[in-house]
């Protein structure tokens, strides 16, 4: 069966950056299971998987615009320490859920200068060219319930 919209797809993958460093891999654990065509994985990878079948192995290089986006200056902002009322020990690298210009997201403290705290709302992989090494493990029809929920159930998916 070919990968197309509304298929439940299982893949193993290794993600490396432009320098060849491994950023993420499913090799030691469960395959990634997702519902194709729902934008639940990055656009470049979803496009590359379309039409593939079980057993296919391929490599794909994905530009930031089809990955986690370009680094955006306006996602970096300086706020006053008083924004973090109740948190005494702010440290570099701490992450918070916040409403950023693109909607809800994660912001990371990237600088602390007295009472001025610099927050970066870019995805940690924004601006990175991504190299995926992919193996398609399984392709099946998604159930009506999975389609209604917008995610895959069972092994590697949602349990509820």
Which residues of this chain interact with Zn ion, rule CB under 5 A? 149, 158
Closer Cβ to Zn ion, 120 or 146, answer by number: 146
Q: How far apart are CB 150 and Zn ion at their closest, in Å?
A: 8
- What are the DSSP calls for 49-83, one per residue? HTT--TT-EEEEEE-GGGTT----GGGEEEEEGGG
Q: Closer to Zn ion by CB, 81 or 149: give it.
A: 149
Nearer to Zn ion among residue 119 and residue 142 (C-beta): 142
Residue closer to Zn ion (CB basis): 65 or 158? 158
Cβ burial of 73 (10 Å; 0-12, 13-18, 19+) is exposed
C-alpha pair distances (Å), 89 with each of 9, 57, 66, 69: 43, 47, 37, 31
Shortest CB 40 distance to Zn ion, Å: 12
- In the complex, least distance from residue 160 CB atom to Zn ion, rounded to whole angstroms: 6
Q: How far is the CB of 153 from Zn ion (least distance, A)?
A: 6
User: Considering only CA atoms, which of 54, 36, 57, 56 is closest in space to residue 46?
Assistant: 36
Residue nearest to Zn ion (CB): 149
């Amino acid at each position: 069966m070919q990968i197309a919209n509304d298929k439940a797809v299982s893949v193993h993958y290794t993600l490396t950056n432009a320098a060849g460093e491994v950023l993420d891999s499913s090799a030691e654990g469960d395959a990634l299971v997702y519902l194709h065509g729902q934008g639940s994985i990055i656009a470049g990878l979803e496009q590359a998987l379309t039409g593939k079948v079980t057993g296919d192995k391929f490599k794909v290089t994905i530009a930031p615009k089809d990955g986690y986006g370009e680094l955006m200056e306006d996602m970096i902002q300086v706020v006053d320490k008083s924004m973090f009322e109740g948190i005494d020990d702010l440290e570099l690298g701490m992450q918070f859920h916040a409403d950023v210009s693109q909607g809800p997201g994660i912001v990371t403290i990237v600088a602390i200068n007295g009472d001025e705290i610099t927050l970066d709302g870019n995805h940690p992989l924004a601006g990175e060219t991504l190299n995926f090494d992919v193996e398609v493990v399984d392709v099946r029809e998604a159930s009506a319930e999975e389609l209604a929920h917008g995610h895959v159930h069972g092994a590697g998916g949602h349990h509820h």
